[in-house]
Amino acid sequence: MYDLLRSLMFKLPAETSHDLALDMIGAAGRLRLADKLVRPVPAQPVEVMGLTFDNPVGLAAGLDKNAIAVDGLAAMGFGFVEVGTVTPRPQPGNPKPRLFRLAEHEAIINRFGFNNLGVDAMLDRLAATRYRGVLGVNIGKNAVTPVENAVDDYLYCMRKVYSCASYITVNLSSPNTPGLRTLQYGDALKQLLAQIKTCQLELSDQQGRYVPIAIKIAPDMTPEEVQLVAGTLLEQGMDAVIATNTTLDRTAVADSPFADESGGLSGAPLTDVSTEVVRLLAGELKGRMPIIGVGGIFSGADAADKMAAGASLVQLYSGFIYRGPVLVRECAEAIATMPGRG
């Protein structure tokens, strides 16, 4: 059924079909129909960051930026759902077209630019959801905010979403907000994370509840850079790292008519690249911080590879668009049958 629906949706412009699909999933969730359309994924509880996840397969941020379809997406079998990226104020993002399907490569290029309705609108949506599982909220900075003041936007969003988030992801790795990726390195990263940690502890004291902070990083780093980032995350007391965001590298899709479009590339070309970053992080972190693996998961075997490389959880995005809810079940089952699990 999903294959037929996808073939129809793929005849539409990429962003039109994206918005329409999300509206349909949202409606199915509100009408309590979504769970009747998908075979349930067996429970496979796992504890990470002090939270209990129904299963280790989650939805990555970026699909539901405004939290309009949380109930419907959760009914697809995900063990957790991450919404956003959300910014303090609404912003339209980059001019259209800004989303491109590279179907022959099972890939997507996007340059959305954190288009969203703002954090207050997201909070209104979240207040209306029935979902009570693990919810991640991915936060970013507004495009008009200078990079040197980015921490102000992150702290603003943290304070806003802290009470409703199970964990908060700080997105430092989108390639579509100018200068953002510079925050992943050196003193800029240390100073930013120090202020985020201080805010987290203050909010924890005020609200009597500790909400973990995850940092999402890019795949376009040298092994030495990954090593340095891992050390900084540990030093600053972060709770998890998400590896990885989209890539700027076009080597794997050089023959595509969209290869020269600017933006981040996701999907199958990212599979091995992101898994290698997970492996490098695991070697540096040595179990002291959990890793959430994301990037190019199109099969149960891909998910199991991320886990074997050192991930504690995985997330889907492009693979979910191309393969639908069946992929969630495949990944959960593949992980459940790995040696030493179950």
Instruction: Give CA–CA dist 58/332, Å, rounded.
Output: 10
How much is the pLDDT for 34? 76
- Per-residue model confidence (pLDDT) at position 128: 95
251 is in an annotated binding site: no
DSSP 91: B
Tell me whether residue 64 is annotated as binding.
yes
Out of 166, 174, 274, 312, the active site residue is: 174
Is 80 exposed, middle or buried (CB count within 10 Å of its CB: 0-12, 13-18, 19+)? buried
| Residue spans per domain, the chain | 2-336
Is 61 marked within a binding site? yes
Are residues 318 and 296 in contact, defined by beta-carbon separation less than 8 angstroms? yes
Helix 300-309 vs helix 271-285: angle between axes, to the nearest 10 degrees? 20
pTM of the predicted model, to two decimals? Answer: 0.95
Cβ-in-10-Å burial (0-12, 13-18, 19+) of 292 comes to buried
pLDDT of residue 180: 79
pLDDT given at position 10: 84
Mapped onto helix, strand or coil, the DSSP state of residue 305 is helix
**Residue 142 assigned ligand-binding role:** no
Contact yes or no for 160/119 (Cβ under 8 A): yes
- Segments of the chain scoring below 50 in pLDDT: none
* Whole-number pLDDT of residue 1: 63
Specify the CATH number for 2-336; select among 3.40.50.2000, 3.30.1600.10, 3.40.50.2300, 3.20.20.70: 3.20.20.70
Which tokens in the block code for residue 60? 């990555």
Q: Which pLDDT does position 342 carry in this prediction?
A: 56
Q: Check whether 149 is labelled as a binding-site residue.
A: no
Give φ, ψ of 291 to 5 degrees: -115, 135
262 in active site:
no
